[in-house]
Homo-oligomer: A and B are copies of this chain.
Amino acid sequence: VTSSPPPELRLDWLRQARTGLPEAILTAGKTPAQLRAIVAQAAQEQRSLLFTRVSFDDFTILESSAVKPQHVDDCRTSKTTMLWWGPPRAPEQDRGVVVVSAGSSDVPVAKEAVRTLHFDNCKCIELYDVGVAGLWRLLQHAETIQQASVVLCVAGMDAALPSVVGGIARGVVIAVPTSTGYGVAHGGETALHSALCACSSGVVVANIDNGYGAACAALRATRIR
């Protein structure tokens, strides 16, 4: 039995240069050999990398083949991690980004967004557990939300949060539907559709559970200034 080597890697460092967004690796679905090759190439080029949806097995692989990875989410099924070549650093720039999430089950997705922002050196305000069933929790932060440049709304189930936030905020509102919930929550489809139909104008939406992508959109928006 011969295992064929993984095909040559083509990490798109050029796109990173072109679009200015951090290169991230969707770990799920990659073989150990592929992961090791990616880390090796990043090490050779002295580049930092963001790994998303890292399973516990994959984390072990990264840990053993790399400079110490950082930031492990306290999440049941996956971790978001980063690889650095150099000392860790805290995000330093305030670009007016706020991350809000509806329920405590949405936190891991919100954290994926937060880590991505941090990776690009962008601070953010984090407001968790502010679902609309208890409006007082959200309304006490109304001013923060209204003045934000970008608000990331992380919400599952009925995703009513983006509608309410969109009626308050002046900045960009990016909904991140999550796969939280059961039954007709449909693994996040209902939250997605709900956010796309948000009755507030100008709410835009990322894929289900895609904290990374929503953060990239925030980075695009804040770079406008």
Contact = CB atoms under 8 A, between A and B. Distances in A.
A182 B217 CA distance: 18
Nearest to A174: B204
B205 A204 contact: yes
Contacts of A70: 1-2
Contacts of A200: 15, 19, 133
Interface string A66-98: 001111111110000000000000000000100
Interface in A1-32: 1-10, 12, 14-15, 18-21, 24, 26, 28-31
Q: How many copies does the complex hold?
A: 8
Interface in A185-225: 185-186, 188-210, 212-225
Contacts of A21: 201-202
Contacts of A15: 133-134, 167, 200
A224 B163 contact: no
Most B Cβ at <10 Å: residue of A4, A28, A202, A218: A202
Given A18-B146, A223-B170, A107 B6 contact: yes
A56 B110 CA distance: 27
Interface in A137-171: 137, 139, 146, 149-150, 157-160, 162-164, 166-171
A14 B171 contact: no
16 contacts: A6-B107, A7-B128, A8-B128, A12-B133, A29-B105, A158-B160, A171-B221, A172-B220, A172-B224, A173-B217, A174-B204, A184-B193, A186-B193, A202-B214, A204-B204, A221-B221
